[in-house]
């Protein structure tokens, strides 16, 4: 397992998504300053931040909690991207780029979450319980 959250490809991709969202929302109409133009970057930053915070946690349960938070923020962002496209704040090409990056982050997050669920008992980095030690 990578030693730092910075080594996680999903975190790196979430960072790319955050930067792309910031670039796109900077072009939104001024009347959206406190609407989607503010909500979308917050959701994008939340994805990367929760991945990093989860990496720093000591148990799989805690890590999983933050990965689920990241996934929730990603779904929120994907919804906001579609709204921005329907409002014509984003063109089809910009939407496609953000969708592509966000879908990749989603696949990677789902893979991490699923790999944590599939770990054999005692492989979580935690000490086994008495029940784990029974034959």
| Nearest-angstrom CA–CA distance, 127 and 117 | 17
Q: Rg of the chain's alpha carbons, rounded to an integer?
A: 18
- Find out whether 48 and 11 touch, Cβ atoms under 8 Å: yes
Give the span between the Cα atoms of 79 and 67, in whole angstroms.
Answer: 18
The predicted-structure confidence for 55-101, as pLDDT tens digits, reads as follows: 888 788 888 899 999 999 999 999 999 999 999 999 999 999 999 99
Measured distance CA(2)–CA(7) in Å, rounded = 6
Which pLDDT score is estimated for 12?
Answer: 96
pLDDT, the chain, mean:
87
pLDDT tier at 47 (50, 70, 90 boundaries)? very high
The domains of the chain, with CATH numbers, are 5-119 (1.20.1440.60)
Question: Averaged over 40-57, what is the pLDDT?
Answer: 95
pTM score, whole prediction? 0.83
CA–CA separation, 73 and 18 (whole Å): 12
């Amino acid at each position: 397992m990578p030693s730092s959250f910075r080594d996680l490809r999903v975190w790196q991709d979430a960072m790319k998504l955050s930067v792309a969202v910031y670039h796109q929302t900077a072009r939104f109409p001024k009347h959206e300053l406190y609407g989607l133009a503010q909500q979308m970057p917050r959701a994008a930053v939340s994805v990367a931040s929760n991945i990093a915070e989860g990496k720093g946690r000591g148990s799989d349960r805690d890590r999983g909690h933050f990965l689920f938070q990241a996934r929730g923020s990603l779904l929120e962002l994907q919804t906001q991207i579609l709204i921005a496209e329907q409002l014509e704040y984003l063109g089809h090409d910009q939407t496609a780029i953000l969708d592509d990056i966000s879908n990749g982050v989603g696949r990677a997050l789902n893979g991490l979450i699923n790999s944590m669920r599939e770990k054999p008992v005692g492989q979580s980095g935690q000490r086994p319980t008495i029940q784990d030690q029974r034959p």
